[in-house]
Amino acid sequence: MNKRFDTADEVEQSFYRALHEKDIHAMSEVWKDSDAIACIHPMGARLLGRQEVMASWQQIFSGANILAFELKDTRRQQSAMLAVHLVHEYITPDDRKDRVTIAVTTNIYEYSEHAGWHMILHHASLSPKTVIERKADEVRQQNTLH
């Protein structure tokens, strides 16, 4: 049985802590125990169901980088059973503190009386600002090589 979260904010904090700590068990507790969940990583395919979603996190956690997340410009909407959080994730790898990636993210949480709050959707896309800055970096690199 999944951990019971009393608020959607508590789930979100646990989600980002699990992500930073690369803790697959904690990540598993955040997600609703259902095949109706979905996850879309930046530039990734739509993953449906608990098996696909958790396999993706296991693969991400097997990478070497530890990532730090700072959430900015958070917008929240909530009803009795559903919470939608729109956030900008400022993601910094420990080995490249100068390389910040910005993701525009939607996190959706669902409440049930017997299980509390859990994540049902995480959808992150690269911010256009990040894409533009990366392209500018590539142009600068190419110009230095010539």
Q: What local confidence, expressed as pLDDT, does residue 134 receive?
A: 61
H or E segment to which residue 104 belongs = strand 101-112
Tokens 């693969």, residue?
A: 59
**Overall size of the chain counted in residues:** 146
Q: Residue 5 carries which DSSP code?
A: B
Question: Topology of domain 8-145, per CATH?
Answer: Nuclear Transport Factor 2; Chain: A, (3.10.450)
Domain-wise residue ranges, the chain? 8-145
- Pick 132 or 92 by higher pLDDT: 92
Alpha-helical runs (H) found in 1-146:
8-21, 24-30, 49-61, 128-145
The per-residue pLDDT for range 96-118, each reduced to its tens digit, is 777 788 999 999 999 999 999 99
Tell me the pLDDT of the chain averaged across its residues.
89
CA distances from 94 to 65, 69, 82, 146 (A): 7, 11, 34, 31
